[in-house]
Structure 1
Amino acid sequence: MQCASRRADGFNPAHLGIMNIRALLANSPRLADILSPQRNSFGVLRFAMATLVLVSHSYLYSAGTSAAEPLQPWLGRSLGECAVRVFFILSGVMVAQSFDRSRGIVDFTVARALRIFPALIVCVLAVAFVVGPFVSALPASEYFRSPELYSYAAKTLMLATGSAPLPGVFETNAYATYVNSSLWTLKYEVACYLGLGILGAAGLFDQKLRWFAVAGLAVVVATVSLSLPANPDDYGFTQNLRYFIVYFYGGVLAYLLRSYLVVAGVALLPLFLIFVASVRTPFAEVGAMLFLGYGALWAGTKMWGPLRGLCNRTDASFGIYIFAGPVQQTLLWLFPSISPVVLTLAAFAIVLPMAIASWRIVEKPSLRLRPVVTNSLTMRRRSVPVSG
């Protein structure tokens, strides 16, 4: 009797399947092959993720809770949280590449600061001193005298919190007093940058130490979230940082393995099964990172039509992320009964031009200052006399 999986002539269909998978893997790019912006669509993904955060927050701001989002019961987390996970994974890959190509820790630090703070400063000051007086329940004179106004600006610019209130602002909205809830993740991103800078200076990207670095980082990524509380509402700073470390440093790990990491759609199914199997286990975040991270890298190999060129020329993702919240809350203050769908469309129509202007007028020109600032700081350090 012949085995059911083998024909009488000795041909085994399973062999053909294995050969096809091997051929797919052999013909698929490695991560190292797609790290150039001209060869990936990471800009499209960042734009899409920022937009998904806007969509998710339309439900959060409208109802006062993310539980109102239709997909949350199925996803286990809000659409915005899933998008932020992908943000951190892509950030890990790209920021690791930035450090690896930088001229040292000063150059790296300058690059990270210029990427975040110029646009953030514009956003915070515009919201606090232009939008705030317009939407506040307080008279303008009382608004500008309130210590809460200056506390908001200071705390938000120092990344101390993303939930600092403005005096009398959005107090009647469903998600009352929250001005720009998206900003709460920035301090964790900067903390991840800081950690990467320290590790990079200690030799993380040294070719001689590659496999020690990969092994050590893999252990951290696999174990750092094991004892997190089941309910994210119980997370404090340390728990949130551990949560984000999984995703950011998962991206860094992918970069370290860039010459070996094959990006092929055939791997998505087993990673999805791992993701599903890990739900409600201590390895849930690791399973999510593997599936979402690999899926993002795979999606980044696609052309996405003219969007790739548009997003490479104009990176509106950060602008959408930081400007959307105040626009959505203002629209709800003006039109309290507006539906989440209409809110999404109206907010996107307003925010997209603002984000494009932010990139062209603030963010891109600021990034061009990187060599000037780096050289200035380096020369200043060299000119400081060494005592003793």
Structure 2
Amino acid sequence: MPSLQVLRFAAAFFVVLFHVGSGLQIQYQLTTNPFGLGAAGVDIFFVLSGFIISYTTNPARGFLDFARRRVARVVPLYWLLTLAVIIIALAKPDLLNSTVLTQQAIIRSFLFVPYEKSNGAIQPLLFLGWTLCYEMFFYLIYGLCALVSGRGASWLASGVLLFLVGLNSLWPDGPAEWRFYTSPILVEFVLGMGLQEIFSGSDYFRNGSQLLALMSIICAPVAYFTASLVLPGIVPPAIFSALVVIGCLFWKVQKTRLILALVLLGDASYSLYLVHPYTIQLVMKLLSKDASLGLVFLLLCAAIIWTVAISLALYQLVERPAQRFLLKPRPKALLPAVEVSSGSD
């Protein structure tokens, strides 16, 4: 689905803008993040993940095949960048803000189990890895539900996630791990799985509509800001993300050169998402507080372009080779030759 690949890049780019804005907010004591809505890129990723996992998983292949595909997709780059953070923390700790190395932090980070840092954030060492901790948790639940109920995995997984969110409402102030794994943000995976069920069961949805796609995407920010006035927490970004994903599911794209370029950037969106905080932060640390607005704008534009180029390189040099290696077909066991009798004995 090219439209969803384009959306993956857009979601990653939203998060890039959000961290550019938060860097400016800290550096120049701004009262608000000028790109605050960019944080919804994470919510789009979660809704997309719920849709894509339930749409593409074939329960007949078994739990181990599902797990192998998820590990090949997520683990290699995350482990590589986590190792890079550890090396930086040992060699130049002043380049990192709140990273403190401990044996427990290292082990938990490699196992996708977040921990509570000194600033109160529940994250692994690679701080944006908190979203991957949710992803791996969702994969585990979905894979086990597929093992138990086959094609009904989406319904069973949705029930499990909603049950966990319900537990959070009963005990919202539990320990860090409890608060993390019962967070209302899990509802966004449920929204994605629900959209998949509707999409797969509706010819009208699958046939697409450019008008409905445009209307859904235009309504998304309007719904977000309207909901923000009256509804708390996860509800506004969840509504926004669901409408954006619906719009892209209705959108039937023509494979022009521009679209193909955006699809390639969508392929590299995982790399862009994980690496950008460190490339952007490096530029922020080099900026003087007395720098003119024009110079700051030019340097940040250059940093974003540089970050996109790095993400494309990581996709080509790390992600694709790692996935090919981990997903290459296993050689079939050779059977002993059997002599066939001619029947003349």
Paired position in structure 2 for 1:103: 61
Query: Per-residue CA shift, 1:193-241, capped at 9, x if unaligned?
Result: 11111111121514xx98xx38x83796599479759xx9999544444
Paired position in structure 2 for 1:168: none
Superposition deviation, residue 57 in structure 1: 0.7
Q: Is the 8 A contact 1:222 1:246 kept in 2?
A: no
Paired position in structure 2 for 1:68: 32
Paired position in structure 2 for 1:310: 261
Change (3 A) 1:352 1:279: closer
Q: Is the 8 A contact 1:92 1:248 kept in 2?
A: yes
- Of the three residues 284, 292, 300, the one matched with 2:241 is 292
How do 1:119-268 and structure 2 match up within 5 A? Answer: 119-129=77-87, 131-132=88-89, 135-137=92-94, 148=101, 153-161=106-114, 180-206=126-152, 213=155, 217=158, 224=165, 236-241=176-181, 242-261=183-202, 262=205, 264=209, 265-266=211-212, 268=216
Superposition deviation, residue 290 in structure 1: 4.3
- Paired AA for residue 194 in structure 2: L
Return 5+ residue gaps in structure 1 as ranges: 1-36, 72-77, 139-145, 166-177, 380-388
What CA distance in whole angstroms lies between the structure 2 residues aligned with 1:325 and 1:184?
Answer: 14
What CA distance in whole angstroms lies between the structure 1 residues aligned with 2:195 and 2:166?
Answer: 18
- Paired AA for residue 140 in structure 2: L
With the length of structure 1 as denominator, give the TM-score of the two structures. 0.64
SS in 1 for 2:199: coil
Deviates more, 1:298-307 or 1:105-114: 298-307
Paired position in structure 1 for 2:343: none
Q: Is the 8 A contact 1:225 1:282 kept in 2?
A: no
Between Structure 1 and Structure 2, how many residues are aligned? 307
Change (3 A) 1:287 1:225: farther
Q: Is the 8 A contact 1:155 1:164 kept in 2?
A: no
Query: Per-residue CA shift, 1:168-197, capped at 9, x if unaligned?
Result: xxxxxxxxxx98532221111111111111
SS in 2 for 1:181: coil
What CA distance in whole angstroms lies between the structure 2 residues aligned with 1:134 and 1:219?
Answer: 43
Superposition deviation, residue 253 in structure 1: 1.8
What CA distance in whole angstroms lies between the structure 2 residues aligned with 1:273 and 1:60?
Answer: 23
Superposition deviation, residue 86 in structure 1: 0.5
Paired position in structure 1 for 2:336: none
Change (3 A) 1:147 1:281: closer
Paired position in structure 1 for 2:121: none
Q: Is the 8 A contact 2:16 2:38 kept in 1?
A: yes
Superposition deviation, residue 94 in structure 1: 1.1
Superposition deviation, residue 47 in structure 1: 0.8
Superposition deviation, residue 63 in structure 1: 3.0
State the identity %: 21
With the length of structure 2 as denominator, give the TM-score of the two structures. 0.71
Paired position in structure 1 for 2:287: 335
Superposition deviation, residue 127 in structure 1: 3.5
Paired position in structure 2 for 1:94: 52
Query: Per-residue CA shift, 1:30-88, capped at 9, x if unaligned?
Result: xxxxxxx3xx31111111111111110112233349963135xxxxxx32331111011
Task: Indicate yes or no: 2:276 matched with 1:324.
Answer: yes
Change (3 A) 1:43 1:135: same
Return 5+ residue gaps in structure 2 as ranges: 119-123, 334-345
How do 1:363-378 and structure 2 match up within 5 A? Answer: 363-372=319-328, 375=330
- Paired AA for residue 334 in structure 1: L
- Of the three residues 296, 301, 311, the one matched with 1:345 is 301
